[in-house]
Chain A
Amino acid sequence: MSINIQYFAGESWQNFRRNWVMTFGAVITIYLSLLLVGVFLVTGIVVNRIVKDVEEKVTIQVFLRDGISPEDVDALQKDILADPLVKSVRYTSKEKALEIFSGQMEGSPGILEQMAGNPLPASLDIDLKDPRTVREMADSILKNETFLSVCDRPEDPERSLKYGQQIVDKLFAFTRVIRIVEIAFVSMLATVSLIFISNTIRLAIYARRKEIGIMRLVGASNWFIRTPFLLEGMLQALAGAALAIATLVIVQVTVFPRLKDAVRFLAIDLGTGTFIQISAILVFSGIFIGLVGSAFAMRRYLKV
């Protein structure tokens, strides 16, 4: 059977115009739900990048109490170096720490002025051979007797150590909550858009019931009758997806550069490849919603 694409496209476009209010509503709901999916994906990717970034900083910093003797520092340094996991250990004095901190805070001199004296502790910076052993190493340092006697906070030795994992754990706890909220919103909006689409398709079927009756009578195949409606649902969903992608592009162009200026140390940048992937996901989920919505309407209102 030769399928008349021109015919299908014409029929779908006609319905699109006839019911434009309903269509508009359907497009907007799809747009919102897909936009949320998009934001969800973008934040997910950014957070993952940050997590990776932090994890790759395999240094463990051991903060030392003020005024301990250089012999104790030497002893601890030797203990740590003896561990096969360790690549190198560097000593950073209080003065050096302040110097590094001043360098980082160059942009905001106010903070430096408010600091009385030098509150920063001296530290040992430990580089590991393998980033995956951070946790293991941290545990072994915590058990070290020398460490316990020279650490910055003897009452809570855990806090005298600083390593990526701690930050990662905090980040994960935070993003998990956000993710649950987002999933709830997305599924709610997806349901609403399904209902909206199936309603517009129902109206379209109702508006064309006479044609449909004649089509059945003269032996148009079931798929010939159904295709314009499926196509219409898909068109609506694609329009929503296009709007969502356009919004994400605008956000990418306008907001991201400013965000990058504000928090320079975070790697919040989406490559073009990632962006195309996100767009593809949005388009396909849009098509899915459109097809399911119109299929639902046809099951109930289009007996062929």
Chain B
Amino acid sequence: MLLMRGVNKYYTPGKAALQDCNVMIGAGEFVFLVGHSGSGKSTFIRLLLRELIPSSGQIVVAGQDLVKMKSWKVPYLRRNIGCVFQDFKLLPNKTAFENVAFALQVIGKSKHVIRTQVPEVLRLVGLEDKVQSYPDELSGGEQQRVSIARAFVNRPPLLLCDEPTGNLDPQTSLGIMKLLERINKTGTTVLVATHDRDMVDSMRRRVIALESGHVIRDQDRGVYGYVD
């Protein structure tokens, strides 16, 4: 599903944000990417979205070589990758339904598809009652659910989450994680970048740990493992 081989990324020459990164993630896996701020988690995610191009090395996502990829093809790559962020990135003047529908609308899906898929995915994330609510009428957890619904509505094979619970309390975070787990069970590969220690320790999933741009640990059924 996802392969990084010998990836280096420099923002300024001589100072690596990511160095000699070798990672392979198979289809259907659930992986935590952990590390302190500045350890390279966001760079990792942005490389996978091809918002960045590595300084050297090879990245393959969903069978496509991102380094050689032509820039006009990037949108079609992103249709295969769902994305969830810490700050939700919802449009404040659109309802939950419209926010999710927007993602389908802008990739040219028909009204019929929108009318059937949007309510379905909103039910999946447990927001069937809040379809017509605006983001400022929703709690943080509910907003993140809308954002997950938007990322997943197109049924992408890969879901990337950058600190999805960073703004949420532990109880709500647990609910979000359970939702991500449910999505993972449908066969979607899920990669969660986080520094939520309790979450990682309680879920016991594969953990890839980053420190100052290096992969220092990659273990199945791992724990957060740092001493803060």
Contact = CB atoms under 8 A, between A and B. Distances in A.
Contact of B83 (A2, A217, A221, A224): A217
Interface residues of B, number: 22
A7 B108 CA distance: 10
A220 B107 contact: yes
Nearest to A213: B89
B110 interface: yes
A214 B100 CA distance: 11
Nearest to A214: B89
A3 B108 contact: yes
A218 B106 CA distance: 8
Interface stretch (B13-21, B74-82, B171-179, B194-202): B74-82
Chain B at the A interface: SS class: mixed
A224 B79 CA distance: 14
A4 interface: yes
Contact of B108 (A1, A214, A217, A222): A1
Could you say which interface size class chain A belongs to?
10 to 19
Interface in B52-72: 72
A218 B108 contact: no
Given A216-B78, A218-B107, 16 more contacts: A1-B107, A2-B110, A210-B91, A211-B91, A215-B106, A216-B75, A218-B78, A218-B79, A218-B102, A218-B154, A219-B76, A219-B79, A219-B154, A220-B107, A221-B108, A225-B106
30 contacts: A2-B108, A2-B110, A3-B108, A4-B105, A4-B108, A7-B105, A211-B102, A213-B89, A214-B91, A215-B106, A216-B75, A216-B78, A217-B49, A217-B78, A217-B83, A218-B79, A218-B102, A218-B106, A218-B107, A218-B154, A219-B77, A219-B79, A219-B154, A220-B75, A221-B76, A221-B107, A221-B108, A222-B75, A224-B108, A225-B106
